[in-house]
């Protein structure tokens, strides 16, 4: 629709990798290419969310934040169409978080999975919950505030965020019903069209910024020979007479197929039949490396340029953040007025 507002963010918790690219930034670019008319697009760096895990070192955090902006832009997102910003620099995020926290029930937050997985809690009892920080528990409320602040209609995220989007919709409805207004649109979750990319060496967990084993992660900045080496060492299996997609029995191989499928935007059965021409894992891995190297070439080169051009990055952020903040400020003023402030 003409009035659509597309919104998403990513945390500056480390160097961006192939999973972030396929599951977030490239999907954002694809969406932004469809932008028309009055549609607004806002993509941000969720730096307030990033401090809900053990605190990063301040100098490292500053670097991750800037790298996140360069990583987002490196996929070719057009900053004249898209507002790129830091969450922390638009104080209305925190302001709306407070207002919405007065709607969110403890029970609804208690049902969320993320705070349990991030604090390694299996069984919730008083002792374990006593160690969980309020900010981590309240993370989904801040996320709802992020989205609703811009009256967003479409939110591209991975499927791990489905629960948070559900809460966002509930809070939007609660606000609208409480004040008998139609202020917040009920935002639609737009699932990014890629399978979870798994760690190359432990294909039972996802590829992640926070993985200490850098050999398991393909970073956007990896040079071709580094990508080749990592893929060559990727854990697969010893069944080599055929290369069938089987995420349960052959997670390593299936992960390589998912990578190719994601990059080529090709259905997995098309990739699977393509793999039938290979005779051994060396051929499979050579092919997979080539596909990755070729696709990441543009973003890698663009990233290198951007990260060195501080003045340009500052200009882009100032413009994007300025537009986003104007909207955020206008909306929070209206929200507070509706509430009687
Ligand atoms: P990370 O675990 O690398 O820190 P985040 O939790 O910050 O990743 O996720 C940022 C975005 O990237 C989300 O939209 C998420 O769905 C996507 N994403 C992260 N890791 C992967 C992955 N391994 N495969 C696909 N998408 C991913
Ligand atoms: Na993470």
Per-residue pLDDT tens over the stretch 42-60: 999 999 999 998 888 999 9
Fold held by 5-196+310-339: Rossmann fold (3.40.50)
d(CA 254, CA 234): 12
pLDDT of residue 33: 94
Q: How far is CA 262 from CA 11, 255, 280, in A?
A: 22, 10, 22
The pTM for the full model equals 0.94
pLDDT at 52: 93
**197 Cα–ligand 1 center, Å:** 9
Active site residue 304: no
Q: What does the angle CA 157 – CA 272 – CA 204 come to, to the nearest 5 degrees?
A: 55
Q: Are 148 and 176 in contact (CB under 8 A)?
A: no
Sequence spans of domains, the chain: 5-196+310-339, 221-304
Looking at per-residue pLDDT, the higher value among 239 and 61 belongs to 61
Q: Which of 118, 133, 196, 232 is catalytic?
A: 118
For all residues of the chain together, what is the average pLDDT?
A: 95
Name the CATH architecture for the domain at 221-304.
Orthogonal Bundle (1.10)
ipTM of the complex: 0.94
pLDDT tens digits, 66-103: 999 999 999 999 999 999 999 999 999 999 999 999 99
What is the best residue among 8, 72, 157, 158 to mutate for testing ligand 1's pocket, by most ligand atoms within 8 Å of CB?
A: 158
């Amino acid at each position: 629709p003409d009035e659509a507002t597309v919104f998403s963010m990513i945390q500056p918790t480390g160097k961006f990798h192939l999973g972030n690219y396929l599951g977030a930034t490239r999907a954002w670019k694809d969406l932004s290419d469809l932008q028309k008319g009055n549609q607004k697009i806002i993509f941000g760096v969720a730096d307030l969310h990033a401090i809900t895990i053990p605190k990063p070192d301040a100098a490292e955090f500053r670097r991750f934040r800037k790298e996140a902006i360069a990583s987002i832009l490196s996929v070719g997102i057009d900053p004249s169409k898209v507002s790129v910003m830091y969450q922390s620099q638009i104080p209305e995020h925190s302001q709306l978080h407070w207002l919405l926290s007065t709607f969110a029930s403890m029970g609804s937050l208690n049902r969320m999975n993320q705070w349990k997985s991030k604090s390694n809690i299996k069984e919730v009892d008083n002792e374990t919950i006593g160690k969980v920080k309020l900010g981590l528990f309240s993370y989904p409320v801040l996320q709802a505030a992020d989205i609703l602040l811009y009256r967003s209609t479409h939110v591209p995220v991975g499927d791990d965020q489905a629960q948070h989007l559900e809460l966002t919709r509930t809070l939007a409805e609660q606000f609208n019903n409480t004040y008998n207004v139609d202020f917040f649109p009920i935002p639609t979750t737009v699932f990014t069209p890629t399978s979870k990319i798994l760690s190359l060496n432990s294909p039972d967990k996802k590829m992640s910024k926070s993985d200490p084993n850098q050999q398991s992660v393909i970073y956007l900045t990896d040079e071709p020979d580094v990508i080749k080496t990592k893929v060559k060492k990727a854990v697969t299996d010893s069944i080599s007479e055929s290369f069938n997609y089987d995420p349960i029995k052959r997670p390593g191989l299936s992960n390589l197929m998912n990578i190719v499928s994601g990059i080529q935007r090709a259905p997995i059965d098309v990739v699977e039949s393509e793999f039938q021409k290979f005779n051994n894992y060396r051929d499979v891995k050579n092919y997979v490396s080539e596909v990755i190297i070729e696709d990441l070439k543009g973003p890698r080169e663009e990233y290198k340029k951007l990260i060195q051009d501080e003045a340009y990055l500052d200009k882009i952020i100032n413009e994007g953040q300025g537009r986003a903040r104007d909207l955020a400020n206008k909306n929070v003023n209206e929200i507070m007025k509706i509430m009687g402030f």
